[in-house]
Chains A and B, each alone.
Chain A
Amino acid sequence: MSFDVDEDILQDFLVEAGEILEQLQEQLVELENNPEDKDLLNAIFRGYHTVKGGAGFLSLTELVEICHGAENVFDVMRNGQRSLTPELMDTILQATDVVVDMFEKVKMREPLEAADATLVETLHKLSNPETPGENIFGDTQEEAPVAEPEPVVEEETFELEEDTAATEDPAELIEDITEDEFEALLDELHGTGGAPGASATKAPAPAPTPTPAPTASSGGEEDITDDEFEALLDELHGKGQFGGEAAAPATPPPASPAPAAESAGDEEISDDEFEALLDQLHGQGKGPGVGAPKEDKPAEKPRVKVENTKPEPAKAEATAAKPAAKAPAPAKAESKPATPAKAAEPAAKKEEKKAAPTAPQPETTVRVDTRRLDQIMNMVGELVLVRNRLISLGISINDESMSKAIANLDVVTGDLQGAVMQTRMQPIKKVFGRFPRVVRDLARSLKKEITLELEGEETDLDKNLVEALADPLVHLVRNSVDHGIEMPDDRQAAGKPRMGKVKLSASQEGDHILLVIEDDGKGMDPDKLKDIAISRGVLDADAAARMSDVEAFNLIFAPGFSTKTEISDISGRGVGMDVVKTKINQLNGTVNIDSQLGRGTRLEIKVPLTLAILPTLMIVLGKQTFALPLGAVSEIINMDIKKTNTVDGQLTMIVRSKAIPLFFLGEWLIRGPKNIERDKGHVVVVQMGTKQVGFVVDALIGQEEVVIKPLDALLQGTPGMAGATITSDGGIALILDIPSLLKRYARKAIK
Chain B
Amino acid sequence: MSDDRNNNAGNVDDQVLQWVTYRLGDETYGINVMQVQEVLRYSEIAPVPGAPDYVLGIINLRGNVVTVIDTRARFGLPPEEVTDNTRVVIIESDEQVVGILVDSVAEVVYLKSSEIDSAPNVGTEESAKFIQGVSNRDGELLILVDLNKLLSDEEWDELSSL
Q: Which of B51, B59, B66, B155 contacts A718 (CB under 8 A)?
A: B51
B36-71 interface with A by 8 A CB criterion:
44, 46-52, 55, 58-60, 63-67, 69
- What is the chain B residue whose CB lies nearest that of A671? B47
- The answer to whether B7 has its CB under 8 Å from any CB of chain A is no
Given A385-B63, A717-B159, A726-B60: A712 touches B96 (CB 8 Å cut-off): yes
A572 to B109, CA, bound (A): 67
- Contact at A718–B50, with CB atoms within 8 Å? yes
Complexed CA–CA distance, A225 and B51 (Å) = 69
Set of chain B residues within 8 Å of A5, measured between Cβ atoms: none
Give chain B's interface secondary structure class: strand
Are A715 and B46 in contact, CB atoms less than 8 angstroms apart? no
A714 within 8 A of B: yes
A669 within 8 A of B: yes
Is there an interface contact between B50 and A714, defined as CB atoms closer than 8 Å? no
Partner of A731, one of B44, B69, B96, B98: B44
Q: B97: CB under 8 A from chain A?
A: yes
In A722-737, the 8 Å CB interface with B consists of 723-726, 730-734
Residue among A712, A714, A715 facing the most chain B CB atoms (10 A cut-off): A714
Report whether A713 and B96 are in contact in the complex, using a CB–CB cutoff of 8 Å.
yes
Chain A residues, Cβ within 8 Å of B52: 714
What is the CB-to-nearest-CB distance from A383 to chain B, in angstroms, rounded to a whole number?
Answer: 10
Give the docked Cα–Cα distance between A711 and B60 (Å): 12
Interface string of A687-722 (1 = CB under 8 A from B): 000000000000000000000011111110111110
Please tell me which one of the listed residues A671, A714, A732, A733 contacts residue B96 in the complex, with CB atoms under 8 A apart.
A714
| Chain B residues near A726 (CB-CB < 8 A) | 60, 63, 65
- In the bound complex, do residue B48 and residue A744 qualify as a contact, i.e. CB atoms below 8 Å apart? no
Residue interface bits A647-674, CB-to-B below 8 A is 1, else 0: 0000000000000000000001111000
Q: Does B128 contact A (CB under 8 A)?
A: no
Report chain A residues within 8 Å CB of B47.
Answer: 624, 671
Decide if B24 is an interface residue (CB 8 Å cutoff). Answer: no
Contact of B33 with A by CB under 8 A: no
Judging by beta carbons under 8 Å apart, are A709 and B65 in contact?
Answer: yes
B151 within 8 A of A: yes
**A1 vs B19: C-alpha distance in the bound complex, in angstroms?**
51
**B55: shortest Cβ distance to chain A, in Å?**
6
Known: A731-B60, A732-B60. A711 touches B46 (CB 8 A): no
Interface pair B98/A714, CB less than 8 Å apart: yes
Q: A669's closest neighbor in chain B, by CB?
A: B49
B60 near A721: Cβ-Cβ < 8 Å: no
- Does A382 interact with chain B (Cβ within 8 Å)? yes
Most buried by A among B49, B55, B151, B159: B49
List, in ascending order, chain B residues with CB within 8 A of A712's CB.
65-67, 96-98
Taken together as a complex, chains A and B put the C-alpha atoms of A717 and B55 apart, in Å, by 14
| In the complex with contacts A624-B47, A668-B49, A715-B58 CB distance below 8 A | yes
Complex contact B63–A731 (CB within 8 A): no
State in angstroms the CA–CA spacing of A624 and B46 once bound together: 7
Name the residue on B nearest A720 (C-beta): B50
* Contact status A732-B59, CB under 8 Å: yes
Q: How many residues of A contact B (CB 8 A)?
A: 29
**Of B48, B63, B69, B155, which contacts A711 at CB under 8 A?**
B48
Q: A714-B151, A732-B59 are in contact. Are A671 and B67 (CB under 8 A)?
A: no
A671→B47 CA distance, assembly (Å): 8
- A625-653 residues with Cβ-Cβ distance < 8 A to B are none
| B65 and A711 contacting across the interface, CB-CB below 8 Å | yes
**Chain B residue at minimal CB-CB distance from A712:** B67
B120 vs chain A, min Cβ distance (A): 29
A721 to B55, CA, bound (A): 14
Q: Which residue of A lies closest to B63 (CB)?
A: A382
Q: Is the CB of B97 within 8 A of A714?
A: no
B49 touches A671 (CB 8 A): yes
Residue of B at shortest CB range from A378?
Answer: B63
User: With A and B bound together, what is the CA distance between A719 and B47 in angstroms?
Assistant: 14
Give the docked Cα–Cα distance between A720 and B51 (Å): 10
Q: How far is the CB of B95 from chain A (nearest CB, A)?
A: 9
Considering the complex, give the chain B residue whose CB is closest to the CB of A379: B63
Q: Count chain B CB atoms within 10 A of each CB in A711, A713, A731, A734 and give the residue with the most.
A: A713
Q: Are B65 and A724 in contact (CB under 8 A)?
A: yes
Whether A721 pairs with B64 at a CB distance below 8 angstroms is no
Contact assessment for A715 and B96 in the assembled complex, using a CB-CB cutoff below 8 Å: no
CA distance A173 to B87 in the complex (A): 89
Interface-centre pick from B52, B63, B98 (highest chain A CB count, 10 A): B63
When the two chains form their complex, are residues A715 and B60 in contact, meaning their CB atoms are under 8 A apart? no
Cβ–Cβ contact A714 & B60, under 8 A: no
Q: Which residues of B contact A744 (CB under 8 A)?
A: 50
- Bound-state CA distance A713–B63 (Å) is 17
Do the beta carbons of A734 and B46 come within 8 Å of each other? yes
Chain B residues with CB under 8 A of A732: 44, 46, 58-60, 65
Give a binary string over B67-102; 1 marks a CB under 8 Å from any A CB, 0 the rest. Answer: 101000000000000000000000000001110000
Contacts of B50 in A (CB 8 A): 718-721, 744
A733 to B60, CA, bound (A): 10
Q: Decide: B49 and A714 in contact? CB cutoff 8 A.
A: no
Q: Determine the chain A residues whose CB is within 8 A of the CB of B58 once the complex forms.
A: 711, 715, 724, 732, 734
Closest 8 CB pairs of A and B: A669-B49, A709-B65, A724-B65, A732-B46, A382-B63, A732-B60, A714-B67, A718-B50
A-B contact pairs, 29 of them (CB 8 A): A385-B63, A624-B47, A669-B49, A671-B47, A710-B65, A711-B48, A711-B67, A712-B66, A712-B67, A712-B96, A712-B98, A714-B55, A715-B48, A715-B58, A715-B67, A718-B49, A718-B51, A719-B50, A721-B48, A723-B65, A724-B46, A725-B65, A726-B63, A731-B46, A731-B60, A732-B65, A733-B46, A734-B49, A734-B58
Contacts beyond the supplied A714-B69, A714-B98: 16 A-B pairs with Cβ under 8 Å: A670-B49, A671-B47, A712-B97, A712-B98, A714-B55, A715-B67, A720-B49, A720-B50, A721-B49, A724-B65, A726-B65, A732-B58, A733-B46, A734-B46, A734-B49, A744-B50
List residues of B whose CB falls within 8 A of some A CB. Answer: 44, 46-52, 55, 58-60, 63-67, 69, 96-98, 151, 155, 159
